[in-house]
Amino acid sequence: MTQDAAPKLLVVADEPKNLHTISRILASHDLEIVFASSGEEALREVLQHNFFLILMDVQKPELNGLDTARLILGNKKTAHLPIIFVTATSKEEQLVMEGYDAGAVDYIYKPVNPFVLASKVSIFRDLHERSEALRRKNDELAQARKALKQSNEELSHIELHDSLTGLANRKNFAHSLSQAILRADRDRQKLAIFFLDLDNFKTVNDTLGHDAGDELLKTVASRLRDSVRKNDLVARFGGDEFAVLMENIRDNKDVAVIAEKMLALVGKNNPLRNRNLIVTPSIGIAVYPVASNDQDQLMEFADIAMYRAKKDGRNAYRFYSEELQSMELEFSEMSFDLRRAIDGDQLEVHYQPQIDTKSQQIIGFEALVRWNHPEKGLLSAKDFITVAEQSGLIREIGARVLEEACTQYQSWRHTQLITSNHVRMSVNVSALQIRSGNFVETIDEIFAKTGMQPDHLELEVTESTLIDDLDHFVRILNDLDNRGISIAMDDFGTGFASYRHLQHLPVHHLKIDRGFIARIQEDERDLEIVSSMITMAKALGLYVTAEGVELFEQAELLKDIDCDRMQGYFFARPDAPEVIERLLEDQQQHAQQD
């Protein structure tokens, strides 16, 4: 009912003349009068309209006014309606009592006194209007309360959720974790927290822009939600950092299943900006109360486990354990020591000759870094390369080795120990160095500083370098190739570089991994593999070096299958410059004698 409509009065009477009388008396009252001539009709009307009063004539038995009143008051929807009986039988007390019993609030006696009728109707109309006004106020109040509650909920949602993905935020996660820990203690249950971040997310942001990055984060959020159980909490801490809380776990296997699912789902292809991106996660897991019974420490341990997953090659998950903690300590000690080693000149470069199969002369050297550790003695690259790469120190070490090797090469040329232009200095470079942004400039600076000619230098890259961002890698290799620098594919056969790849890369030289050479003298199949590698490399116009040649038989077999060069202990170990100088001098003396 709208506020402006005239209040409605129901007159229940069997005779039209009664209605006329009532209508006439109330004509000036701005009312809408509805007429019902039977009990059934009255019952229908009260359900359809909001009446402020019913005037009920109970005179005729067929109208059955008392029963109608009982039915109206018996219905929840109409029980509030005031009913005034219009009756001529005022003298019969029994009937009056029955009327009140049936729900009458008042009586008007016939013949109807207009003043009495008008004033009684006015009173009920006023009452109705006031109660309607009250009802409206109540409704408004209820609406206001509802709106307040909603905006409070929105506020606390904003305060506790990440606006980009709608996931819980860090504050929410911390609060939920503290509650979950209380439940776990009470129920003697375990819970697990996962910390997760995306490998190479920065590259997406840098190359495709922040909008694309945001889109990717939303996809990751929904994939994470799909990986976990319904009641597990998924949160985003900001950037590409996510966290998951899993309660009521039985053992690590339960947790591992979920972690595997996350790796599979999150690591799926992302069609984004017409490119197919694969962004993999690294996940660290800490289990309460196994790893720690302290909330802050638990979070710290999940973080440590995540970094371990990253260091172990990314796209992996790791559980926090004490062993992992001690590995972590060892790592930080080692990288601290390595930093000091760089500053304190504990790094040395050794050189291993490469031999030309036909002439048996030294045709080049591979520069290999050594760490002259004050306690552990002379360490070779494999003992500290992981720490160097993971700590980022590899860039500085790599640049130093490169400069040192060029300086050494130039010095051997000046002293005439190297006279042939075919003799090259080979230096290993890591993916991290190449990706560092100013790799080519660094090399140019080293050429300028040492006077080294680009065609006397060879850079050895491994197949694993190809994993990330092949396009970028190819651009840099082309820059190097254009300068006349030779590129060697190191440890060939251990990774996934195919011959098809090689066709598109400016690679000049294949170094067959020592693993293939180790058994060629025992296993014919190994010999066949090496032989076909050489055949294919030659078809692509590459020359080939066999690495790790340790035995006379191996050298002979490699000669038979036309391997261009060999490197290994059978010919010479990597050694300090002064040892290599003696080798070069010997070689020169032999040449003069011949």
Question: Which residues of this chain interact with Mg ion, rule CB under 5 A?
Answer: 428, 460, 490
Residue closer to Mg ion, measured from CB, 18 or 426: 426
Residue 410 C-beta: closest distance to Mg ion, Å:
21
Q: Which is nearer to Mg ion, 337 or 490 (CB)?
A: 490
C-alpha 510/C-alpha 590 separation (Å) is 29
Closer residue to Mg ion (CB): 301 or 409: 409
Q: 240: which strand partners?
A: none
From 427, 312, 418, 297, select the one nearest 367 (Cα to Cα): 427
Q: Are 367 and 426 in contact (CB under 8 A)?
A: yes
Backbone φ/ψ region at 64: left (φ over 0), alpha (ψ -120 to 50), beta: left
CB of 380 to Mg ion, least distance (A): 12
Angle in degrees, CA 381, 384, 390, rounded to 5: 120
CB of 490 to Mg ion, least distance (A): 4
CB closer to Mg ion out of 109 and 543: 543
Q: How far is the CB of 409 from Mg ion (least distance, A)?
A: 16
**Token pair 């038995």: residue:** 61
Helix (H) or strand (E) holding 498: none
Cβ proximity to Mg ion, 190 vs 511, nearer residue: 511
Question: Which among 441, 342, 445, 345 is positioned nearest to 394, based on CA atoms?
Answer: 342
The distance from CA 343 to its chain's CA centroid, rounded to whole angstroms, is: 38
Nearest distance from C-beta of residue 567 to Mg ion, angstroms? 9
Task: Give me the least distance between CB of 351 and Mg ion, in Å please.
Answer: 12
User: To the nearest whole angstrom, how small is the minimum distance from the Cβ of residue 342 to Mg ion?
Assistant: 21
Q: Which of 104, 291, 272 is nearest to 203 (CA)?
A: 272
Residue among 463 and 490 whose Cβ is closer to Mg ion:
490
Q: Return the number of the residue (337 or 460) whose C-beta is nearest Mg ion.
A: 460
**C-alpha closest to that of 63 among 85, 46, 82, 94:** 85
Residues forming beta bridges with residue 196, ordered by sequence position: 242, 283
CA 65 to chain centre: 74
Minimum distance from residue 518 beta carbon to Mg ion (Å): 16
User: For strand 281-288 and strand 565-566, is the pairing parallel, antiparallel, or unpaired?
Assistant: unpaired
Q: Give the residue among 359, 378, 255, 365 at the shortest CA–CA distance from 317.
A: 255
User: Considering beta carbons, is residue 232 or 490 the nearer one to Mg ion?
Assistant: 490
